[in-house]
């Protein structure tokens, strides 16, 4: 989990992996300050021929720029997610313009999952659960409990955990988008 309430208010992104299945969920709320501007934004999408799922927390335009950069890195490295996220993190940290981008990315494929930040972080979770954004603590705790005490599939865990996060975090809503591999 990565969360800074002053910077990353406005979304919850959750990844759950169980066995060969992985799901990434994101809420649809967009806020500017204390005002809700949009209810159904799509903050989770598939890249690289549908083999990679990426979700973002932070500034939308910055995240879209990072999605494009990650897609280019995936093409360059033939879909090798590990190599692509490391290269993106290096560029993000060292490039004067990219360094100013305010977003976090969560990227997963069939085997790996990573959190990528502009400070050069490339973090792989120890468990099959990871979350970013203002509702991350709530979604993460709910997903861990559901993983431990149910046999639900990742998509169902995402849906339940995101619903719990939305009931607790004012910057997260129940308009959930879930992508699966």
Respond yes or no: is residue 94 known to be catalytic. no
Count the alpha carbons within 13 Å of 54 in the hemisphere toward its beta carbon: 24
Distances (CA, A) of 43 to 50, 78, 85: 15, 24, 18
User: DSSP assignment, residue 127?
Assistant: S
DSSP 92: H
Beta-carbon contacts of residue 58 (< 8 Å; ≥ 6 apart): 7, 8, 10, 11, 101, 102, 103, 104
Element (H, E) at 149: helix 136-149
Catalytic residue among 11, 31, 65, 150: 11
Report the 10 Å Cβ neighbour count for 141.
Answer: 17
Q: Running DSSP on this structure, what letter comes out for residue 2? A: B
Query: Which residues carry out catalysis?
Result: 11
């Amino acid at each position: 989990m990565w969360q800074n309430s002053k910077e990353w208010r406005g979304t919850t992104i959750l990844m759950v992996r169980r066995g060969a299945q992985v799901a990434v969920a994101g809420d649809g709320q967009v806020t500017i300050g204390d005002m809700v501007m949009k209810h159904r934004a799509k903050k989770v999408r598939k890249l690289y021929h549908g083999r990679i799922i990426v979700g973002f927390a932070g500034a939308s335009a910055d995240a879209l720029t990072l999605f494009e950069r990650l897609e280019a890195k995936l093409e360059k490295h033939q879909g090798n997610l590990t190599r692509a996220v490391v290269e993106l993190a290096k560029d993000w940290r060292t490039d004067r313009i990219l360094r100013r981008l305010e977003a976090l990315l969560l990227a997963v494929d069939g085997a790996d999952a990573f959190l990528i930040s502009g400070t050069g972080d490339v973090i792989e979770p120890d468990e099959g659960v990871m979350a970013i954004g203002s509702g991350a603590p709530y979604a993460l705790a709910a997903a861990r409990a559901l993983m431990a005490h149910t046999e639900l599939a990742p998509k169902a865990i995402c849906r339940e955990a995101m619903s719990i996060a939305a009931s607790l975090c004012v910057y997260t809503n129940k308009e959930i988008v879930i992508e699966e591999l």
